[in-house]
Amino acid sequence: MAYSVDSIPDLSGRTAVVTGANGGLGLETAKAFAGKGAVVVMAARDQDKAARAADVITRATPGAQLEVVPLDLGSLVSVREATEQILDSHQVIDILVNNAGVMAMPERKTVDGFEMQFGVNHLGHWALTALLMPAIETADQARVVTVTSTAHHTRHGVDSANPHQRGTYTPWAAYRQSKLANYHFAIGLQREFESAGVRAASLLAHPGLSNTDLQSRTVREGGVGDSGRFFETLSARVGMTAAKGAMPQIRAATDPRARGGEFYVPRFVGNGAAVRRPILRAGADAAIATLWDVSEHETGIELKV
């Protein structure tokens, strides 16, 4: 049978942190965790939207244990403040879902001067994961789930000489670079866990073609013209609901049979039930090493297990 919300085991006593939990896949992920008894930290930039999302969850699960934490992944100061707030309340984090992201926007910088897509989709999550590591390591069997995209297939690893694509920027190339960074990050993190002998696990997921606000935001940003409108229309017509699109990351985070280094995706790439698929190009040692060097250099934060 297909893995569903009903398949999730009891999560009582566990703490889950979900980035971008104020809408789309993140909201559905937070809702699923809360419905199974987890304490869910909803880390999101738009606090008004996050409050509305929390209301949605509590209507579905009265008594849901929710905490809303401000998090702007485009600001290292915000990431530090969010992690401090989380760690003040939680010595143990059992699940971290690095879900939030942006796609194919016009060239823009984070407050730290990073290219926005690489900064939000990867560097912000790098910093968050690194700073939460003490609580992740303390958990009995923590899971870190990083959300990538099929776009990771179409680009080489990050260019260490120009990771922010200054002078060469195009919206889709930057998005592909950020999603490949997510892919390499999850694989590299699993290697770090194994090398350190900790019981935490790093897994990958991608949501296929899901009808969320991601495509519409790309169109609103106005960076990709006809291609953005094409994907917005396609997702609206044939894309999965956010609830179905979130199932790969939900399964990666909760399936008792899942193991570190695994990749969960829709059965038919763009849609279908959440299934495990082989990780291709897993041995991209040079690309992972470069990503680690670039990430530590740009953020000034060492990811140490």
**Catalytic site residues?**
175
Identity at 278, one-letter amino acid code: P
Identity at 164, one-letter amino acid code: H
Neighbours of 45 (CB within 10 A): 19
For tokens 């956010």, the residue is 242
Query: What is the C-alpha separation between 11 and 23, in angstroms, rounded?
Result: 22
Write a three-state SS string for the chain: CCCCHHHCCCCCCCEEEEECCCCHHHHHHHHHHHHCCCEEEEEECCHHHHHHHHHHHHHHCCCCEEEEEECCCCCHHHHHHHHHHHHHHCCCCCEEEECCCCCCCCCCECCCCCEHHHHHHHHHHHHHHHHHHHHHHHCCCCEEEEECCHHHHHCCCCCCCCCCCCCCCCHHHHHHHHHHHHHHHHHHHHHHHHHHCCCCEEEEECCCCECCHHHHHHHHHCCCHHHHHHHHHHHHHHCECHHHHCHHHHHHHHCCCCCCCCEEEECCCCCCCEEEECCCCCCCHHHHHHHHHHHHHHHCCCCCC
Query: What is the C-alpha separation between 39 and 37, in angstroms, rounded?
Result: 7
